[in-house]
Structure 1
Amino acid sequence: MKRAFMAVAVAAVFTGTSFTPASARTAEPAAADTFEVSGLEQPGTISIDKWGIPHIYAQTLYDVFFLQGFNAARDRLFQIDLWRKRGLGEMARDFGPDYVEGDRMARAVLFRGDMYREWLAYGSDSKRVAQAFTAGINEYVKMTKANPDLLPEEFKKLGYEPSLWQAEDVVRIRHHGLTLNAKNELDRAQVFCKVKDDPVKADWLRRELSPTIDPKLVEGLDPCSIPVKEIKDAYDLATATPKLTKLPPGAEQAKPAGGQPKKQAEKTSAVNDKGLLPVSALYDVVRNDSDTERGLGSNNWVIGGARTTTGRPILANDPHRSHGAPSLRYISHLNAPGLSVIGAGEPFLPGISIGHNDQIGFGLTRFYMDQEDMYQYEINPDNKNEYKYKGRWEPMETVEENIEVKGEPARKVTLRFTRHGPVLYQDDGSHTAWALRAAWLDLGMAPYFGSMDYMRATNWDEFKAAMNRWGAPGENQVFADTGGNIAWMPGGLTVKRDWDGLTPVPGDGRYEWGGYRDMDELPSLYNPKAGYIVTANENNIPPDHPAFKKGVGYEWSSDFRAKRLKRVIGASDKSSVADSEAWQNDKTSLPAIRTVTVLQEVSTDDEKLKPVVEMLKKWDGKVTADSAPAAVFEVWFSRYLRKAVVDRAFDPDIAKMIGLADPERVLDVIENPDGWFSEAERNQIMLDSLGQAVAEVREKLGDDPQAWKWGTLHQAVFLHPMNALLSDEEKKTFNVNAGPIGGSGYTPMATSYGEKSYNLTAGASFRMVLDVGQWDDSRVINTPGQSGDPRQPGYRDLAPIWAKGEYIPLAFSKEKVTENTVKVLNFKPQQQQ
């Protein structure tokens, strides 16, 4: 088949109404298309079910990864191309000069080591897998060049074409791995600079540490010498995900329904004193002082057969990440000789990171080990490329690169590296520099690529061996197998330090890592007596385990979700798949229950406030979308109560720096105010801040408390990266609004929101509950859809199901896949001309 004919055939497959919406429960007769592709060894097929899940069948192991890459491009081309472009520092080439500095910083955190050793770190065939996967992507990209109608609308609007991939791109890009904790070190140093009387007390309120520790400044560090904002901005430029807020030169200008060009918002296009757009205008940044940062976590659990209604283990996982359209997660099913694995991964990576094969199931949450440190250097006044190390001037490694810029000549930039890592910021005036040391920049640390190994394990020993090679990010893995075994282990490289790792340190040689701890120094569980295991990003290292005080990490997520889940799961002697679904959608807020418990002791004579206080006192703490007290509480706790505690405890300048106090610490203070306030002062703080919250709720929802609903404020809106460039009419196409949603960042059904809006920002786009061994009875959901192409029904068809807390089948057997198939894509190796 010639290339031109092949492109026409593919266009028939990927445009129009190829997919049946998820609401249709009766499969259409499976239509089929056949076309030839180069790079395939043997014929293969992709059976697409009515929910948009591709079931890929190949006759060789590497063909299945070729087809996975091809399919990722077919469904998510703009998303994966933008990920690659951002990771490699190639944004300016297609989007213009505003992205030059971001490209420079992205290149600073690329892996730059020995690629031969890098590939070996993941297993013997990792390079071959990545080559096959990227060859599949490239095959589809070449088809779009032959037939531009295949390109998603984003490319046309932005005026550029997708790039071809190299296998190395998969592992060299490191910015997507949920990094921790360099920015927290900077924030803590700022506290030590500005709070003279008791900085430890201020930091205690700012951020919970577990195990409890009083952070200490190391010798030789002046916290007031650190340009915190500049370093954090550089870090964000290196690691944050892009959002497109300014049209590239020559790109199509968005037009509203009236036909007039949409004006760029002044706030978006405002430049700083260096002539650059602010970081927040170009990248989606998760700030350390936001609820979103604490809400970025996950839940997983595994329940042994003795505690289930089926007698088989149940494994559940709902990873929480920033939301957007399309979803970060993509569900796939890979079948080849010796391999049958299904579940979710990230569309720009081969393999499956959350799911199951024939024998085992697996699911992950973040394990917050501290894999970063910020280093400060004295720079030679006579040579800005030298820094002092052990009493001598040591040269930095410098790398010069050209960054292509759309509409302008290429820019030459210089990257500098110390022995510890990339220089993020250098101040020639004070002759100081700051560099990042990060475990995720070392060999074998490409985020999530380690799943290539463990997804092929068939038992706990093989799985544990694979996890012993896992690098980044730190993860809790739960495991179950068809033999009835359940297990848990954390994975990731844990740094050996002689200090607490909670503040920056001088890079003069006094504060060096002592390598990494062996993985078997961390705890693990295998068939525990309790019969179940739960993890939810809390510090789950047992206090009596030797690792508890080894400085693995101190900055974990609040344990509200973990406590609630352990309580309900532990209370159920016999639980079902449906129970796990319900627990993933549980909206009980422990902060709400604890706050309302304190409120029982508080009374008011304010006639406007009294009915609201009484309403809260009768509330059960369930943050449902239709709840009036939930609306009041969320506004109160997130915007006013936490701030009020800080404002009363510290002078205005310090309070402003601390911002929203840690939720756990605020609850500790209002429950036990001794040492902070009298009970009368505590009560007044609660009433004053509640009054502010009620005023905001009245302004937004009206005067009648009976009509207030949390879901009116809290909407499940999935924004496209081009949102700021879209007309109101275009937003209906590219964004997805699933409507009112319950929950918060601290309920098991985590639905975090940001500082400026109560709209959903982060949570579980993907949920999975496995009936281990009876795989076809497993359940799953992704949102807003499987497709990344707004032209397709599959772009948004799963959002209503997800919003209602419902699921779709995760078909695994050939029989069930065939039963639900609505489209079959047949692939043949292209004949040599």
Structure 2
Amino acid sequence: MAILVAVPPLAAAGAWLWLRSGQPTIDGTATLPGLEAPVEIARDANAVPHIFARGKADAYFALGYVHAQDRLWQMDLNRRIGSGRLSEVIGASGLRYDKLMRTLGFYRDAEAGIRALAPEVQAALTAYTAGVNASIENRSGPLPIEFQILRYQPEPWRPADSLVWGKLMALQLSGNHRDELLRARLMRRFPADRIRDLYPDYPATAPVTLAGLPDLDLGRLAAALPPPLGPSAASNEWVVSGEMTGTGKPILANDPHLQLGAPILWYLARIEAPGLSITGATVPGVPFHLLGRNDRISWGFTTTGGDTQDLFIERLDPSDPSRYLTPDGPEPFIERVETIKVKDAPDETLTVRATRHGPVLSDIEPDALGAAPQGHVVALAFTGLSDRDTTPEALYRLNRAPDWEGFKAALRLYQSPQQNIAYADIQGNIGLYTPGLVPIRRKGDGSVPVPGWTDEFGWTGAIPFDELPHAFNPPAQRIVNANNRVVPPDYPRFITNRWDDWYRASRIEQVLSETKRHDVDAAQALLMDSVTPVFAELRPEMRGIVATTPEAETALDLLRDWDGTMDRDQPEPLIFEWWLRDLHRAVYADELGDLFGDVLSSSPRVLLHMLRGAPRWCDDTITPDRTESCDDILTASFNRTVQELRQRHGDDPTDWRWGMEHRAPLAHQVLSRVPVLGDLFDIGIETDGGNQTVNRGGSAIRDAQAPFSHVHGAGYRAVYDMSDPANSRFMIATGQSGDPLSSHYGDLVERWRNGDHFTIAGSLDEVTATGLGRLTLLPAP
């Protein structure tokens, strides 16, 4: 990168000023083809665009225009990933992603899927596309710095570019096929009872979101195998009725947890047009609001973790390996050839094969290949693989839904990924629906790869919409979900065995039970709650620990007096989380060997189960001459933790701080890897919270160098006030701009860390008077 690094200071200054000249125009007028009438775009003090349009098509045009003004690189990167064209700009390092995307056929499905959408939805996509392209063509100055570094120009936007992002999100939030492969590997080494210890059941006493579901007259599907690991994504949502808020109207809070980076996934926007009044979170590249409120309802998402993927082991025809066996005899693979262009290298040719169940993964994924015996291949069945996906239309109609019936009508069109969607309206109603295509299996629960040459494990359809979990105005006057179990054990349909941990849901329920009035301020405070319930669960295990050094005794004393608050300025969270991570390794790494890294997670449920219900795991198999107790392991692990922290942070435990390890790097996909520029554009910040707190500070504890770097969490937070929708509060993690040279690239980081929120409301004149600028888009003659 020679633009700002390997150049003399004067030249670097000139390059900097040149790149700065590419900042978007946010004040004045722009005359553009494709508009039907003038559109006003006022950016408020937080750089959020308020779009005032006279027609819906013009509103979507304007949204496309501002998305491309502020996040063009992010948009281009997402469509390249989804279409399998990353290698064109980054070289051979993108081939693994490109081969997966080409095999899954996401972009082909996105192109074909446009025909499945209603004409008005297609018109919205067309208008949005025109706005994106008008922004690209109308920009003055250079393209964003990422295009300069990688030396390429963005192509014109296409409607399929907007739809492919939904395919990516469906894959990210439904990736349980990797768990199936891991379980298959474990089954080769361990008996069933040992595997069950690695996947303990969801406790009967833990929170269930819709515990009071009515009985349905359906046949239950048995869960034959223990559940796989929980999903990598997480989120919180709760909605309380007017009886709990003091206003007589509901409040809904939501903060989806995804990978953190810069720019953040979300982009705040408001649209005011005839038949469309909506405010909340958009994704650059997509014309519809994913999360937010209109003038009558609000909604929030959390991931269900529904098991919507199965791996089928297909048996090749012994006499003709170009065919595979089915109950009706051999059938040929469906094949197509994909050519992948690679920067600075020859093109790659990929032959994609598919069976009646789905694309063949074992042709490109080594883990899948290892799961297939000689003479077999592995194919993926996934509800997100569809060329008639109406999920975009569901979002279009959700944005306009006036009430519960309109909300349900929109969600009937929702296919993937399955989500728990909370609801509140200005009439005082609250509810939750869990839409999405969830397969009905003839046999099994999708937890391990199954034979594909018979129909024994085949899918027979999807759970009917009316039978999916839902509730409307429940007697409890509140609904809470934090990726915990949605349905009780007697729910007659199989959704998943992979329910995520219940700790965040338990904490939310506890705080709501203790709060006399849950107003907007209380909801904001609860979103930032940093108490980990895990410490209270593990506290009894501390009784048997014997400190072997003065430093360890000091650390133990600190924990004995700790209340579990994961404060970045305190030592206790650092001691506790480091010890918890070391305990995982101490208890079961010796048995798992090279599989330990794949099984290790931040969840304490496996550890607690072993310490209390399966103590045989505490014996260290590396020392056959002695038998260790769990108290022995707890003591050794704690003292080892203190020694490691002394080496990293000094001898005095009272000087240690959680923030020394727990920092949100908010890394940029490209610039963070460029010398000098990575430091120049660093907007990382120390944060509170941890893996099991409501204010989720998720980390990748498998990372030996930075096991508690805050890489996963709430990139968007919102509290919707149905007594006064304009009083709803919002925040995103970085800033509205994706341009590192913009003052709005990282201007919200500190406020996000500290739990601040702001409103997005006001008339055009009010926003103009207090905002950053007002741009009028005029139709070209």
Residues 1:363 and 2:300 aligned together: yes
Cα offset, 1:123, TM superposition = 4.2
Residues 1:766 and 2:703 aligned together: no
CA distance in 2, matches of 1:397, 1:380: 15
CA distance in 2, matches of 1:301, 1:515: 31
Cα offset, 1:747, TM superposition = 0.4
CA distance in 2, matches of 1:436, 1:586: 40
- What does residue 644 of structure 2 align with? 696
After superposition, the C-alpha distances for 1:362-408 in whole angstroms (9 at most, x for unaligned) are 11111111110111112235544311112622101111132233334
- What does residue 498 of structure 2 align with? 555
- Helix, strand or coil: the match of 2:247? coil
Aligned residues of 2:231 and 2:305 also touching (Cα < 8 A): no
Residues 1:710 and 2:664 aligned together: no
Residues 1:667 and 2:608 aligned together: yes
- Helix, strand or coil: the match of 1:423? coil
Aligned residues of 2:197 and 2:614 also touching (Cα < 8 A): no
CA distance in 2, matches of 1:659, 1:762: 17
CA distance in 1, matches of 2:331, 2:347: 31
- Correspondent of 2:757 among 807, 815, 831: 807
CA distance in 2, matches of 1:640, 1:340: 51
Cα gap change, 1:186 to 1:816, in 2 (>3 Å): farther
Residue 341 of structure 1 aligns to which amino acid in structure 2? I
After superposition, the C-alpha distances for 1:611-658 in whole angstroms (9 at most, x for unaligned) are 222221111111111111111011111x2012212146x364665664
Structure 1 residues 34-49: aligned runs within 5 Å: 34-49=29-44
- Correspondent of 1:204 among 194, 197, 204: 197
- Helix, strand or coil: the match of 2:608? helix
Structure 1 residues 399-438: aligned runs within 5 Å: 399-426=336-363, 430-438=374-382
Cα gap change, 1:494 to 1:324, in 2 (>3 Å): same
Of the structure 1 ranges 747-756 and 163-172, higher mean CA displacement relative to structure 2 is found in 163-172
- Correspondent of 1:523 among 451, 455, 469: 469
Cα gap change, 1:101 to 1:366, in 2 (>3 Å): closer
- What does residue 530 of structure 2 align with? 587
Structure 1 residues 149-228: aligned runs within 5 Å: 149-172=141-164, 174-177=167-170, 178-195=173-190, 198-206=191-199, 215-216=224-225
- What does residue 622 of structure 1 align with? 565
TM-score when normalising by structure 2 = 0.87
Cα gap change, 1:654 to 1:456, in 2 (>3 Å): closer
- What does residue 64 of structure 2 align with? 69
After superposition, the C-alpha distances for 1:721-775 in whole angstroms (9 at most, x for unaligned) are 1146311x201344421x2211111100001111221211100011001111312
- What does residue 779 of structure 2 align with? 829
CA distance in 2, matches of 1:12, 1:485: 53
CA distance in 1, matches of 2:424, 2:223: 39
CA distance in 2, matches of 1:295, 1:747: 15
Cα gap change, 1:116 to 1:731, in 2 (>3 Å): closer
- What does residue 541 of structure 1 align with? 487
Cα offset, 1:459, TM superposition = 0.4
CA distance in 1, matches of 2:402, 2:117: 18
- What does residue 257 of structure 1 align with? none
Cα offset, 1:55, TM superposition = 0.7
Residues 1:684 and 2:632 aligned together: yes
CA distance in 2, matches of 1:716, 1:561: 20
CA distance in 2, matches of 1:112, 1:507: 26
Aligned residues of 2:109 and 2:386 also touching (Cα < 8 A): no
- What does residue 213 of structure 2 align with? none
After superposition, the C-alpha distances for 1:427-473 in whole angstroms (9 at most, x for unaligned) are 69933211111000125547666322211100011101111221111
Cα offset, 1:414, TM superposition = 1.5
Of the structure 1 ranges 669-678 and 445-454, higher mean CA displacement relative to structure 2 is found in 669-678
- Helix, strand or coil: the match of 2:157? coil
Aligned residues of 1:368 and 1:474 also touching (Cα < 8 A): yes
- Helix, strand or coil: the match of 2:559? helix
Residues 1:314 and 2:314 aligned together: no
Cα offset, 1:502, TM superposition = 0.4
Cα gap change, 1:489 to 1:714, in 2 (>3 Å): same
Cα gap change, 1:656 to 1:780, in 2 (>3 Å): closer
After superposition, the C-alpha distances for 1:552-595 in whole angstroms (9 at most, x for unaligned) are 11112211101110111122231211111111011111112211
CA distance in 1, matches of 2:597, 2:114: 47
- What does residue 729 of structure 2 align with? 779
- What does residue 751 of structure 1 align with? 697
CA distance in 1, matches of 2:399, 2:407: 8
- Correspondent of 1:599 among 542, 547, 565: 542
Cα offset, 1:108, TM superposition = 1.9
Aligned residues of 2:544 and 2:635 also touching (Cα < 8 A): no
Residue 401 of structure 1 aligns to which amino acid in structure 2? E
- Correspondent of 1:439 among 383, 392, 396: 383
- Helix, strand or coil: the match of 1:335? strand
- Helix, strand or coil: the match of 1:538? coil
Cα offset, 1:813, TM superposition = 5.0
CA distance in 2, matches of 1:461, 1:397: 42
Cα gap change, 1:734 to 1:398, in 2 (>3 Å): farther
Residues 1:94 and 2:89 aligned together: yes
CA distance in 2, matches of 1:718, 1:677: 38
- Correspondent of 1:132 among 127, 132, 145: 127
- Correspondent of 1:328 among 259, 265, 269: 265
- Helix, strand or coil: the match of 2:510? helix
Residues 1:53 and 2:56 aligned together: no
CA distance in 2, matches of 1:658, 1:332: 40
Cα offset, 1:688, TM superposition = 1.0
CA distance in 1, matches of 2:716, 2:151: 32
- What does residue 644 of structure 1 align with? 586
- What does residue 10 of structure 2 align with? none
After superposition, the C-alpha distances for 1:180-202 in whole angstroms (9 at most, x for unaligned) are 3100111111111111xx23432
Structure 1 residues 268-417: aligned runs within 5 Å: 296-380=233-317, 383-390=320-327, 392-417=329-354
Cα offset, 1:674, TM superposition = 5.6
What do you get for the CA RMSD once the two structures are aligned? 2.8
**Gapped runs of 5+ residues in structure 2?**
1-16, 207-221, 364-368, 620-626
CA distance in 1, matches of 2:156, 2:297: 35
After superposition, the C-alpha distances for 1:600-621 in whole angstroms (9 at most, x for unaligned) are 3544455442222222111111
Percent same amino acid among aligned pairs? 30
- Correspondent of 1:465 among 401, 404, 409: 409
Residue 379 of structure 2 aligns to which amino acid in structure 1? A
CA distance in 2, matches of 1:310, 1:46: 33
Cα offset, 1:205, TM superposition = 1.9
Residue 157 of structure 1 aligns to which amino acid in structure 2? I
Cα offset, 1:527, TM superposition = 1.3
CA distance in 2, matches of 1:773, 1:818: 26
Cα offset, 1:81, TM superposition = 0.3
After superposition, the C-alpha distances for 1:125-154 in whole angstroms (9 at most, x for unaligned) are 22111111122112222235xx4x241111
Number of equivalenced pairs: 725
Of the structure 1 ranges 492-501 and 108-117, higher mean CA displacement relative to structure 2 is found in 108-117
Cα offset, 1:425, TM superposition = 1.7
Aligned residues of 2:297 and 2:402 also touching (Cα < 8 A): yes
**Gapped runs of 5+ residues in structure 1?**
1-10, 20-30, 218-287
